[in-house]
Amino acid sequence: MNIYDIKRLTQHTSPNYFSAKNMRFFGQTMRSFSVRKQPDGRYRISAPMRDGNGRMIGESVKYFNPINNELESEHAKPTVEANI
C-alpha cells in the first residue's frame, strides 16, 4: 500500500486531506508522505509540515484504516484485526 492508494481509498471519507490547497499550506507534496504498516493492520502516514520559508514546523500524522477507508488520529482505538 502506498500513499497514492490511500489517497484514492479516502477520496470519499476524507476528501480534503490530500487537497492541493491543504498540502500547499503545509508545504507538502504526495512524495512528502511515508507509509508504514502497523502491527494492528493500520497504516501510519506521515509528512513534515513546513512554513512559508521551508522550515519544518511539525509533522502530519494519521492512521489509515483499510477496513473502513478512514484516516484516524494517532490516539484512535484501532478497529482492525492484527492478523489481517
Q: Is residue 8 part of a domain?
A: yes
Q: Is residue 80 part of a domain?
A: no
Q: How many domains does the chain have?
A: 1
Q: Is residue 55 part of a domain?
A: yes
pLDDT in tens, 51-78: 888 889 999 999 999 999 999 997 665 5
Indicate the pTM of the whole model: 0.83
Q: Is residue 83 part of a domain?
A: no
Give me the pLDDT at residue 42, please: 96
- Name the residue range of residue 28's domain: 3-68
Q: Is residue 77 part of a domain?
A: no
The per-residue DSSP string of 28-84 comes to --GGG-EEEE-TTS-EEEEEEEE-TTS-EEEEEEEEEETTTTEEE-TTSPP-S-TT-
Q: Is residue 16 part of a domain?
A: yes
Q: Is residue 75 part of a domain?
A: no
Q: Is residue 79 part of a domain?
A: no
